[in-house]
Structure formats: structure tokens, C-alpha cells
Structure 1
Amino acid sequence: MFSSARRWLRNNRTPIAVGVGVVGAGYVVTQYVLSKLNDARERMSSDRIAKENLRRRFEQNQEDCTFTVLALLPTATTNIVGALNTEQITYEIQQIKGSAKSLKAGSAESTASPPSIADTTMTEEDGKSMASLQSESGVHASQITTPSPFAAAGDAGQQDGGVHRTRKTKRQLWDDLTISAVTRAFTLIYTLTLLTMLTRIQLNLLGRRNYLSSVVALATGAQQATISLENNDDDNTEQDYGSDFDTNRKYLTFSWWLLNKGWMEVMHRVESAVRTVFGSLSPRDLVSFDRFGELTMEVRKLVEGATPEERRASDWLRFLLPPQDQEDEVIRQSGIMEDNAMQGGSSQPSPAALRRLLDETADLIESPAFSHVLTLILDAGFSALVDKKLAAEAFELPPQEAFPMPGSSDLRRTRLILLPKILSVLTRQAHVIGNGMPNEYLQDMETVRALEAFAAVVYSSNWENEIRDEGLMDTAVHAGKEEERQDKGKQSLGGEQSIVMVQPQGGGFKGAWERAVENKS
């Protein structure tokens, strides 16, 4: 039997060898294919996790922006309300009216010359509007002690101990009240909008630095786990916004300029436009809803520009960032030096890193995309003030419907109210804009989708330049350049499966924004 088996194997050794070879090769090929499929599956899973973490980190960044704006806004509000004290002017008008009534009752037979028409013929609606200005603003007349910024020079001399005092007439005070109420509300809208844009730029630039720091740390073997994009430790501020905490802290304090200096330039520009547009109105003028909207648009054209070219040419940078020769003064005024001295800190942040952040911020502010998004956010802010609050509280109009009933637009055009009623609503809304909690105006601004798109482009552009500028390119391991170009800017760093979503070479912020606009359209 064994001899026959040997004879059969000897006679069929060639087919058997071929069969064994085919089976072995098939097994090897199968194992190779399965390993490649497993690698691809793991890579796809890692990419999906990285993208999800990046998305979640970006969303957390935007929430941080909202809370930061709400924390910083009261500082600017206090300054603006202090400079434009509408309640003080209201109190002075009430004093003049009260003294006029007392003079009329106690000196009916006096031979003195009669008061002027502006002092004696104010209507009953004026008195009601005065009470409304006082009650709706939340400030009682007895609480007002600061002098009006629109007071005459003689008033200031009287308060300083001078003998001569020149009192303003009621009409002059009403003119001041109109300018003050409108300027204050509009200035707060502009300040809130600029603070929102600046905060989005600052926190998204630092969020980008944090993500890149995690990627490079992973690529160089500093950490063996997946990229950490979330900060679960409230005390770990370095992980939250990059590794250079002192530089990041100094960079964030540059919002001090807008809160303490820039708002004054904004106020002066707005006040000049308001005087030009609203200066001819009197307290007895009847104003329609559409008319006030037209006046508001005229003010905006003077402040922002009437055409897209003029809006792009507007110099918003000087409101948001100081000149370079005043940057050290901003850092000193913010109190960082004293804090570091008290904590015994000796680390010196890199001037080059801070300079890069400030320069990129200035480039973003001067970009056409910034002007475009700023206009859209201002549209939302003024719409909330005029189309919602003023329409409902001053003109008592129903909410604007998506499909208005016939004749409803005629109602908006023909409804007329006295100017003081509008001023009373603007006086109250100024406090809502600056101190509202929750802040309805900020919520409406953040519903503008272009704002999130702008933040996303800031977060995701210029990553290659950031790595190069920080000196990290030499330590990062680049793999598959041809594959990354075909994969629309996906770059693999390091031996681990971590993905950095970057723009193609030469793209930058401008190219990324153009692509975002094209995708949206």
C-alpha cells in the first residue's frame, strides 16, 4: 500500500506542487488584502474620530466666544452710558418743566417778560414721554448725580464753583436728548458687533494654535494617545489655548483697546452721523416706522459707507487694535505685569509669537471678508432694535409675518408717533443691548451663518504657515504628499493615525474664504 502511495505521489508530484503553490499564494494574497482592509478601516475610523473631535472643539470655541463677549461687554457699556447720560438730560428737562409750572402758579401777576414758546407750550405727550424715559430706563431721577455731557459750558462752570451760569432752554435740551438717546443705542450696537468679531478672531486663532500643538506633540512622540482637543481640566489653561500661556494671555488682553479707547472713536463717528441725520427733528415731530428706518439707514451709510467699496475701505482696525507704538501701554494698562509680579512669574513670552498673532489679526480685520460679515451682523443688530423692539414697543405694531396680510405694510407706513416715544424706547434698549441677560441682540447676531463661516475659515486657514512660523516643520513627519494633494489638503503628521485638515498650498485666508463663499452659493 505504501509503495502504491509513493508511486501515485511520484506520478502526480507536479499537479500537487502546483496546487499547494496556488493554495499558499491564495492564502498570502488573502491575508494581505485583509490587512489592507483593516488598515483602511482603522484609518477611516481614526479620520472620522479626528474630524468629530475637531468639530466638537470648534463648536466649544464658539461657545467660549459668546461667554467672553458677555463678560467683556459690561465694561464698554459702563463707559458708553457714562459718556452719553440720557437720563441726566431727561432729569434736567423735568426740572425746567417743574420750575416753569411753579413760576406760572406763583407769579401769575408778575410784570416780567413771559417765557418763550419752547418753555411753555410743551404738550401733555411730552410729559408722558419724560416719565416714560425715566421709568423705562430703570434709573430714577433722584439717582442721577453726574452732569450731562451735552450741558452748556456755563453749567460746568457753576458746578466748579463759578458764579456765571448759562442754562439751556428746553428745546436745546430736547435736541441734546435726541442726539444722546440715538447715539447711545447705535454706539452700543456697533461696539457689540465689533467686540463679537474681534473675539471670534482671537479665540479661533488661539484654538488653531492649540490644535496644531497637539498634532505636533503627537507627531514627535510627546504623547501616545489620540489628539487631545478638549480641555477637561479647568486649571489647564496651557492646554486650552496653546503652550505659550503668557503670549496668549497678552494677546487676549488687546480687547482692552476697544473696551476703553476704541469705543470713543466709534461714538464720535456715530454721533457725527446722528447729528447730521437727526439734528433737524424736533420733539413735536411725528415720525412713521418707515421714516425712522430710513433715518437709521442714512446714519449707517455715513458710519459704514454707502457702497460695498466704501464699506470695504472703512478703517475698523483703529477701533479694535492700538497702533504699534501704544501696544506696550495696552499691556501695562491691562494689569498683566502686576499679576505676573505678584505670582512671581519670570517667563517671558516670545515677542515674535505675539507679533505674528497681532499681524494676522490686523490682516483679518482689513480683509473684505471681515467687512462683509460685519455688515451682515450689523444688519441683524439694527433689525433687532428697529424691526422688533421699536416696532413693538414704540409703534405698537404686530410682529412682521413671513406672508403679511394685505394692508399690513400700509399700516406700518401710516402709523405716526411723537419722537419722544421713540427716544424712550431707545433709552431703555440701550441698557438691554449692553447688559441684557440673556442678550437678545447678541443671539440675533450669532444666527448670521456668515459669522460661523468666518470663524471656521479663521480656524482652518494658514495652518501650514503657523507650523512653519513656530519652527515645528522640522519636527513634524510629513507623509504622502501626492496623496495629500489629491485628498484636498489632508496632511498626515507622525506615525500615528492623526489627520490635520489644512488648505492647499497658497490658499491662505483669502482663498479659503473664497472657496467657502463658492460652496455656499
Structure 2
Amino acid sequence: MISATRGWLRRNRTPIAVGVGVVGAGYVVSQYVLGKISDARERMSGDRIARENLRRRFEQNQEDCTFTVLALLPTVTDNILAEMETERITFELQQQKAAKLARNGEPHPSELGSGPPSVTDDDRSMVSLQSESGVHASQMGIPSVTSAGDGPQDGGQQAQKARKTKLQLWNDLKISAITRAFTLIYTLTLLTLLTRIQLNLLGRRSYLSSVVSLATGGVEQSTISLENHDDDNPDQAYGNDFETNRQYLTFSWWLLHQGWRKIMLKVEEAVKEIFGPLSPRDDISMQKLSELTLEVRKKVEGATEEDRQASKWLEYLLPPQEQEELVLKESGMTTDASSASATTSPALRRLLDETSDLIDSPPFAHVLTLLLDAGFSTLIDQKVAQQAYKAPAVPEVPDLDAPRITELHDPKPVKLPIVLAIFTRQAHSIGNGVPNEYLQAVEQVRDLEAFAAVVYSSNWESEISPIKDEGSFPGKDSPRGPESVITESPPQEEVVAGQDSVVDVGTASTFESAWGKAVDTPEKPT
């Protein structure tokens, strides 16, 4: 038996050896393939987790932007309301009317109701303004009038003087009410865009800092878990240079205290030119109001697409370089001139330069136009249309391609003071509304989130090196043009899916490129 077995093995030793070799090779190959599949699954799982963490951080960043705008908006609103005292002009008109009626022994305008046949057009205008705006001396803290016992008039000359004063007040009220509401819309929109740029630039630095630190922390770290520990570690908030980031964020002071005034003067000039010829006795239709508003916007923003792209908004949002020290001092970041060296620090200089490039870029002008469309549509097509012209409410989610409300309805024209009263009241809603419907309308524009995503994911290649070199940022001697800033893709594909936009979002994922390089760093031989 043993000899027979030995003989069989000798005769078949070659096939047996081949069979064993094939089985062994098959086992080795199968184990190698299974290992590669397992590695690929781990990498795919790591990529998915990283993308989800990036998306979560990006979305949290946008929520931070909203809360920041709501926190800053009351400051600039108070400045604008204090500068343009529309309610005080209204009260002066009420004083004049009350004094005239007292001298003539007639009842107060509030007792006139809808106005008897003997009431003049100016009386009805005053009654409309009072009833629509609800402005009274007790609400404004203005002392009551005591001129009811004035002496007799000096004839036609004094009456003519009083008449001119009254017409001047009406003209001032008209310009003030419209300019104030429009200025607040422009300021709200610009503040929203500036805040998105600032927080997304800092959010990008924070994210890349965490990626690089994890990737270079040791070979044992094979995957990256990008959890947001900003709340737990203040030193990681928006990057690794907390003081520089604080200084950078304080540059919103310029818009809140200086930039809005320049906007107001530009808007006021356009309003005087377009709305100046209107009289308080005039009836104004919804269509006419929309056309006049559009004319004002053309004067401020530009009449054509080329003009809007060429418009420069940087002077309203950031100070000139020679006044950067003033901004830091006024915002409390520095206390004397000796601390001005912070304005020339490479890290802060780089952030300010990139912000300037973004503001001067064509996508900024495009997104700004869309946001202004949403803001003015809320004011004119919704609030004024519903409250002054009694038009039906529009859907909560407006369709920008749908016909305007003035094309769907032809409401009856109303007196100009009624419209002015709506503008007066809506100015407070734009700046201090809770909830702020205008900010909600602006943030519903999808191009805003797309623009924020582009900012968040742009210039990652140039950002990684400075972070790894512990903040050795290039200075202003190597400027970047707008084209080098708005060229990358957003971290969220759904942000711009199915949407036409001039924002260049690209096709490749900047996140995947930067994250992949960070992951590969520990695997490279040293």
C-alpha cells in the first residue's frame, strides 16, 4: 500500500506541484484583492465622512453669517434712522396743520375721518399719512405744539411763506422716506455679502488648518474625522490666528459707520432726480411706482449689465488703506498709533486683499443684483402692493421668472402720501424686523449660497502652504486678480444644481483635491 502510494506520487508529482502552486497563488491573489477592496471601502468611507463633515461645517458657517448680520444690522439701522428723521418731518407737518386748524377754529385732522368735501387735497394727504404711518408726538418723544395762539397773519406774503414751507416739508418727507427705505435695502444686501465673504474666508482657513494638522500629525492617523471643535477650543475659531481674525472681522465697522452714508448720498441723489417732480396731491399707480423704483436702481447700480459689472462697491465695504488704522482704532482693536503695525501684518493684509478682489469680481456684482432684486421685490411687489394697493399676497417662495405682480393686477392708483407712509413704516421692518422678512428674502436667492460656496472652496492650493508654514502669508506685493479668486467649485453640488448663473463653479471638486493631498501626506516616505 505504501509502495503503491509512493509510486502514484512519483508518477503524478508534476501535476500535484502545479495544482498546489495554483491553489497557493490563487489564495495569495484573493487575499491581495480582498485587502485592496477593504482599503478602497475604507477610503470611500473616509471620503464620505469627510464630505459630510465639510458640508456640515459649510452649512453651519452660513447660519453663523445669518446671525452675524442680524447682530450687526441694528447698528447701521440706528445710524440711518437718526440721520434721516422722516418721522420728525411728518410731525412738523402735523404741527403746521394743527396750528392752521386751531387758528381757523376747525377740528383736528384726526377728527376728520375720511375727509369731508370741504377738506383740501393737502388735508386728505395729511390724514392719510397720519392714519397709515401711525406717527404721533407721544410715540416720538417730541413736545406738543403750542402755536395755536399765534397772532393774526400778515396777509398774503406770510401765507405765501407758510405755503412754501409746507411744500418744502412735503418734498423733504418724500425724499427722506423713499431714500431711507432704499438705503436700508442696499445696506442690508451689502452687509449680507460682506459677512458671507468674511466668515467663509475664515471658515476655509479653519477647515484647511484642521486638515493639515491632522494629516501631518502622524502615520497612525490613517483617516480624517473633521469634527468641528471651534466651540471647545477658542484658539481654533476660524483658523489658527485668533487675533488676526478678530481684527479682520472688525472691518465691517466701515460699512456700519461710514459706508452707509456714501450709499445714502448716492441713493438720495437718484431719488431727488426721479421722484422729485411728484407732488403729494398726485395719484401714483403700482406700475408707475415700479418704473420709478427701477429708474432709481439704474442710477445707483447701472442701466446695463456692463454698467453693473463695472460698478465699484469696494469703497462702501472696506476703507482705503490709509484709513485702516482708523477702523481698528474706532472698533476698539487698537488704542494708539503705535499699535497700527497690525494693519500691515501679512496675514491680515492677505485677508483684506482677497476680500477686495472678491468684492471687485464680476460674480459679486451679479449676486448683488439678484439680492437687490429680492429686497426691492419684497418692498414694492409685496409690502407696498398689499398695504397701499390692496393687492393679493404673493407666494412665500417667489419665482424670479414669474411675471411681476404689476403685470398680473392693475390696482387703483392711490395718493402719494399713502405710499410714503408705507415706506416710512417698512424702513423699521427692514432694519429691525423680527423676523426680518427682507433678510429672509435675500437669503432665499440660491446664487448667494453658491457664491459663498465658491469663496469657501477657492484658493485652497495657495492656502495650504501658508497654514503649514505657521502663518507666513504672502504680502500685498503679490496681488491676486478677481479671476484667480472666483475660479473654483463649491463644496456642495446641490447648491447650484439646475440653476443658471454667471458664477463659475467649475466641474472638479477642490475639496477632494485638497483633502486627498492631505491624506496622502503621511504615506509619503520621509
Partner of 1:300: 297
Q: Quick check: 2:487–2:505 contact (8 Å CA) kept in 1?
A: no
Instruction: Find the aligned partners of 1:142 and 1:369 in 2 and give their Cα distance.
Output: 43
Rate the CA distance shift 1:141–1:51 in 2: closer, same or farther, 3 A.
Answer: closer
Partner of 1:130: 129
**What is the 5 A alignment of 1:372-387?**
372-387=366-381
Q: Quick check: 2:81–2:180 contact (8 Å CA) kept in 1?
A: yes
Rate the CA distance shift 1:410–1:331 in 2: closer, same or farther, 3 A.
Answer: closer
Provide the TM-score with structure 2 as the length reference: 0.79
Residue ranges of structure 1 left out of the alignment (5+ in a row): 107-119, 146-164, 476-505
Rate the CA distance shift 1:348–1:358 in 2: closer, same or farther, 3 A.
Answer: closer
**What is the 5 A alignment of 1:60-75?**
60-75=60-75
**What is the 5 A alignment of 1:108-123?**
121-123=120-122
Partner of 1:171: 167
1:348 shift after superposition: 7.2
1:315 aligns with 2:312: yes
Instruction: Find the aligned partners of 1:282 and 1:271 in 2 and give their Cα distance.
Output: 17
Partner of 2:181: 185
Instruction: Find the aligned partners of 1:431 and 1:273 in 2 and give their Cα distance.
Output: 22
> Aligned partner of 2:72: which letter?
L
Deviation digits for residues 299-340 of structure 1 (CA, Å, limit 9, x no counterpart): 00000000011111111000000000111110111112369x
1:335 aligns with 2:332: yes
1:516 aligns with 2:522: no
Deviation digits for residues 218-266 of structure 1 (CA, Å, limit 9, x no counterpart): 1211794854544356352332311100011100000000000000000
Rate the CA distance shift 1:102–1:61 in 2: closer, same or farther, 3 A.
Answer: same
Q: Quick check: 2:126–2:417 contact (8 Å CA) kept in 1?
A: no
Partner of 2:147: none
Partner of 1:447: 444
Deviation digits for residues 116-165 of structure 1 (CA, Å, limit 9, x no counterpart): xxxx9444422322323551x698455147xxxxxxxxxxxxxxxxxxx9
Partner of 2:198: 202
**What is the 5 A alignment of 1:97-496?**
97-105=97-105, 121-132=120-131, 134-135=133-134, 140=138, 142-144=140-142, 169-221=165-217, 224=221, 227=224, 229-232=226-229, 234=231, 236-337=233-334, 351-400=345-394, 412-413=409-410, 415-472=412-469
Provide the TM-score with structure 1 as the length reference: 0.80
Pick which of 351-360 and 412-421 moved more: 412-421
Aligned length: 447
Q: Quick check: 2:179–2:264 contact (8 Å CA) kept in 1?
A: yes
1:369 shift after superposition: 0.2
> Aligned partner of 1:190: which letter?
Y
1:398 shift after superposition: 1.2
Instruction: Find the aligned partners of 2:46 and 2:137 in 1 and give their Cα distance.
Output: 58
Partner of 1:4: 4
Q: Quick check: 1:317–1:365 contact (8 Å CA) kept in 2?
A: yes
> Aligned partner of 2:193: which letter?
M
Q: Quick check: 1:187–1:267 contact (8 Å CA) kept in 2?
A: yes
Deviation digits for residues 249-293 of structure 1 (CA, Å, limit 9, x no counterpart): 100000000000000000000000000001111111000000000
Deviation digits for residues 48-94 of structure 1 (CA, Å, limit 9, x no counterpart): 11111111111111000000000000000000000011000011000
Q: Quick check: 2:229–2:236 contact (8 Å CA) kept in 1?
A: no
Q: Quick check: 1:467–1:473 contact (8 Å CA) kept in 2?
A: no
Instruction: Find the aligned partners of 2:323 and 2:292 in 1 and give their Cα distance.
Output: 37
Pick which of 451-460 and 392-401 moved more: 392-401
Pick which of 169-178 and 224-233 moved more: 224-233
Q: Quick check: 1:230–1:240 contact (8 Å CA) kept in 2?
A: no
- Residue 315 of structure 1 aligns to a residue whose secondary structure is coil
Instruction: Find the aligned partners of 1:279 and 1:208 in 2 and give their Cα distance.
Output: 47
1:518 shift after superposition: 8.6
Rate the CA distance shift 1:260–1:96 in 2: closer, same or farther, 3 A.
Answer: same
Instruction: Find the aligned partners of 1:246 and 1:138 in 2 and give their Cα distance.
Output: 47
Deviation digits for residues 157-197 of structure 1 (CA, Å, limit 9, x no counterpart): xxxxxxxx999611110000000000000000000000000
1:103 shift after superposition: 2.0
Q: Quick check: 1:380–1:445 contact (8 Å CA) kept in 2?
A: yes
Q: Quick check: 1:193–1:378 contact (8 Å CA) kept in 2?
A: yes
> Aligned partner of 1:363: which letter?
D
Instruction: Find the aligned partners of 1:323 and 1:392 in 2 and give their Cα distance.
Output: 43
Partner of 1:76: 76
Identical-residue share of aligned pairs (%): 60
Instruction: Find the aligned partners of 2:44 and 2:183 in 1 and give their Cα distance.
Output: 50
Q: Quick check: 2:488–2:506 contact (8 Å CA) kept in 1?
A: no
Rate the CA distance shift 1:420–1:197 in 2: closer, same or farther, 3 A.
Answer: same
CA RMSD of aligned residues (A): 3.1
- Residue 239 of structure 2 aligns to a residue whose secondary structure is coil
Instruction: Find the aligned partners of 1:437 and 1:141 in 2 and give their Cα distance.
Output: 20
> Aligned partner of 2:328: which letter?
I
Residue ranges of structure 2 left out of the alignment (5+ in a row): 107-118, 144-160, 400-404, 473-482, 490-501, 509-526
Pick which of 49-58 and 226-235 moved more: 226-235
Instruction: Find the aligned partners of 2:213 and 2:407 in 1 and give their Cα distance.
Output: 65
Instruction: Find the aligned partners of 2:317 and 2:17 in 1 and give their Cα distance.
Output: 81
